[in-house]
């Protein structure tokens, strides 16, 4: 009887760490959902930010499509249709990389991160809240751009499941990689005042060398080489492959959409972005004791 009781007690003690770990993750998930709801409420209460987030890519799409809207010879497409895919990719990076890079830097400078770290809330809950904010805003912005593109510029949505699955993995890998890079770069600004400049400048440069504002057939080779190092170029190329006919692939440097290479590069940036986050993220300012 004693041996049986002891065995049950030992088994319960051995299982306790597993139950505790599951409980921690369940708590982090629950609090992350709550944090996400709070982040979304704060975002939609700032009307100027909401208008800027959703209107900015539409205005730029309209301007570039109006200026460079001619038919692309030999592809059966117009430049305006190419810009729809480009602006969707730029929107994904804007709502993830730029948004997180600036907002986290501001929260760190205002000591919000330091106070949150001093609470019982699991650190993962904070990042889950940011994930929900980025995911919802990015989906909404993408939907708005697609509606705008299909209505005004005759962009065709994928007609089969394969096309939508391709869009899905490009969207998720691009969003994940850019979000991780946004968290990593948030540690670079020394204060909230410098956060916008530090984050926006590299994002702006990447848009030019990645074929967002200037189509790839007009970019010099050295710009294409620089752009190929970073994820935005591959997101733009992949989304062109989703929303444009195969004939348009002749404008790409390789003459094809290179979906396999796109998956490899975006996946590598997800891994690299995670490593950068683990190495660089700070809850406190450099000047904090």
- pLDDT 10s digit of each residue in the chain, 289 long? 455 555 545 544 444 455 555 666 677 778 878 888 888 999 989 888 888 888 889 999 999 888 886 788 778 888 899 999 999 999 999 999 999 999 999 999 999 888 888 888 888 889 999 999 999 999 999 999 999 999 999 899 998 999 999 999 999 999 999 999 999 999 999 888 899 999 999 999 999 999 999 888 888 999 999 999 999 999 999 999 999 999 999 988 888 999 999 999 999 999 999 999 999 998 888 766 5
> pLDDT value at position 11?
46
Tokens at 170, concatenated: 């490009």
d(CA 236, CA 174): 10
Note whether residue 155 is domain-resident. Answer: yes
- pLDDT score recorded for residue 68: 82
User: How far from each other are the two terminal CA atoms of the chain, in whole angstroms?
Assistant: 57
Q: Is residue 157 part of a domain?
A: yes
Q: Is residue 285 part of a domain?
A: no
Classify residue 9: in a domain, yes or no.
Answer: no
- Which 3 state secondary structure label does DSSP give 256? coil
Asked if residue 8 is part of any domain, the answer here is no
Q: Quote the pLDDT of residue 237.
A: 96
Token pair in block for residue 108 = 């760190």
d(CA 157, CA 142): 13
- What does the buried/exposed string (b/e) look like for 216-253 if buried means 16 or more CB atoms within 10 Å of the residue's CB? beebeeebeebbeebbbbbbbbbbbbbbbeeebbebbb
The predicted pLDDT at position 217 comes to: 82
The CA distance from 173 to 93, in Å, is: 11
Phi, psi of 127 (to 5 degrees): -70, -35
Residue 224 lies in a domain: yes
Contact 132, 36 (CB under 8 A): yes
Residue 230: helix, strand or coil by DSSP?
coil
Residue 78 CB neighbours (<10 A):
19
Q: What is the pLDDT of residue 4?
A: 56
Is the Cβ–Cβ distance between 99 and 178 less than 8 Å?
A: no
Query: Are the C-beta atoms of residues 88 and 97 closer than 8 Å to each other?
Result: no
Range of the domain at 133: 23-280
Residue 137 lies in a domain: yes
Residue 4: inside a domain: no
CA 25 from centroid of its chain's CA atoms: 24
For the chain, what is the domain count? 1
The pLDDT value recorded for residue 12 is 46
Nearest CA to 116 out of 126, 106, 124 is that of 126
């Amino acid at each position: 009887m004693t041996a049986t009781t002891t065995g049950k007690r030992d088994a319960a003690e051995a299982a306790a760490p597993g139950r505790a770990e599951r409980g921690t993750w369940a708590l982090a998930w629950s609090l992350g959902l709550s944090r996400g709801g709070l982040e979304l409420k704060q975002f939609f209460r700032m009307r100027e930010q909401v208008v800027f987030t959703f209107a900015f890519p539409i205005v730029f799409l309209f301007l570039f499509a109006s200026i460079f809207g001619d038919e692309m010879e030999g592809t059966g497409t117009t430049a305006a249709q190419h810009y729809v895919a480009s602006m969707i990719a730029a929107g994904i990076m804007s709502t993830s990389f730029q948004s997180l890079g600036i907002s986290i830097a501001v929260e760190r400078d205002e000591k919000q991160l330091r106070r949150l770290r001093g609470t019982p809330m699991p650190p993962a809950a904070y990042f889950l809240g940011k994930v929900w904010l980025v995911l919802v805003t990015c989906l909404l912005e993408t939907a708005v751009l697609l509606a705008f593109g299909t209505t005004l510029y005759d962009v065709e949505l994928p007609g089969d499941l394969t096309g939508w699955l391709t869009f899905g993995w490009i969207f998720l890998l691009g969003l994940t990689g850019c979000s991780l890079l946004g968290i990593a770069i948030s540690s670079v600004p020394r204060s909230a005042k410098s956060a916008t400049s530090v984050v926006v400048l590299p994002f702006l440069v990447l848009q030019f060398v990645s074929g967002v504002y200037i189509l790839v057939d007009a970019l010099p080779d050295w710009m294409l080489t620089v752009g190929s190092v970073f994820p935005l170029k591959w997101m733009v190329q992949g989304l062109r492959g989703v929303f444009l006919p195969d004939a348009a692939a002749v404008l790409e440097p390789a003459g094809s959409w290179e979906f396999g290479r796109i998956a490899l590069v975006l996946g590598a940036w997800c891994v690299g972005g995670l490593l950068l986050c683990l190495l660089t993220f700070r809850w406190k300012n450099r000047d904090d004791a």
